[in-house]
Amino acid sequence: MEIKSTEYSYDKQNVKYTRHRQTDPFIFEYINKALGDAKTVLNVGAGSGSYEPVDRKVTAVEPSKLMREQRGADKVKAVEAFADDLPFDDDTFDASMAILTIHHWPDIKKGLLEMKRVTKNRVVVMTFDPDKVGEFWLAEYCPEMAEVDKARSPKIDFITETLGGFCTVDKVQVPYDCIDGFNEAFYGKPEAFLQESVRRSQSFWDFLPPETEQKAVEKLRSDLETGKWDKKYGHFRTQPKYEGAIRLIVAEK
C-alpha cells in the first residue's frame, strides 16, 4: 500500500479522544522520572493533556482546536502553536516533553530543534521505534499498520542526532491494564480492536482505505470466534507487561 501522506488532522476526525486515551500511571512514572528536577515543563503536541505532571509548572502547546477543547478543567489552557515554530525565547523551560506526538508533526527535525532551543536542560520524547512496530501481533491482521507507522515515525537515531547532547534511549513496558489506548495497550485484549471508537483513537487507521480496515477487523473477529487468535497469541491475555515499540528518549543539553 502506498502512503501518499503522513500528515494527520485531529480536527478533521472529530473524535472524543479522551474516551480511550488517558494518562496511564505506570507509563507516567517513566516520564516523570525522565523530567528529573525540572520545575518548568513545556508539553509540545500536548493534546488533551495526558502525562502532564501536576506538581510542576506546565505550559502546553497544541495546534488542534478539537484537542484543546478536550483538555479537562484541571489542565492549563494550551497555547495554539506548532512544534516547528514555538513562541518562546531560548532556554525558557527547565525541560520539555513530547509524548507519542512527533509522528504527527509536518517537520519533525525543525520541531525537535525548536524544543531544544527553548529548553535549558533536558528534552524528553516518547515515540515509536519504526523498526519494531511490525513485531506487534496486530500486523498479522493489518500489515498496513506497520507500513503507515514506519512511514511517519522517525528513526531513533534521527531523533538522538537531531537533539544532540547526551542521549539515553529506554524501552517502555506497557502494563496489561494500560488506560492509554494506543495499539500496543491492547496487546492482551484483542477484542478492543473490534470497537470503532477504539480504532478512531488510534490515528494509523485513518490512513487506510475503509475496506482495508474492515478486512483486518473481520479477520480478527473470525480468529477470535474460532479460537485461532488464542491458540497463537493467547499467552498475552495473562502477560502482565508487554515490551514493544515504544521508546523514551532523554536528551541532556
Q: Over the stretch 218-237, which tens digit does the pLDDT of each residue have? A: 999 999 999 999 999 999 99
Three cell numbers at 141? 491482521
Q: Please tell me the pTM assigned to this model.
A: 0.91
* pLDDT tens digits for range 107-135: 999 999 999 999 999 999 999 999 999 99
Among the four given CATH numbers 3.40.1080.10, 3.40.430.10, 3.40.50.150, 1.10.3720.10, the one describing domain 10-252 = 3.40.50.150
- Distance between CA atoms of 152 and 38, rounded to whole angstroms? 30
Going from N- to C-terminal start, the domains of the chain cover: 10-252
Q: For the residues 76-88, what does the mean pLDDT come to?
A: 97
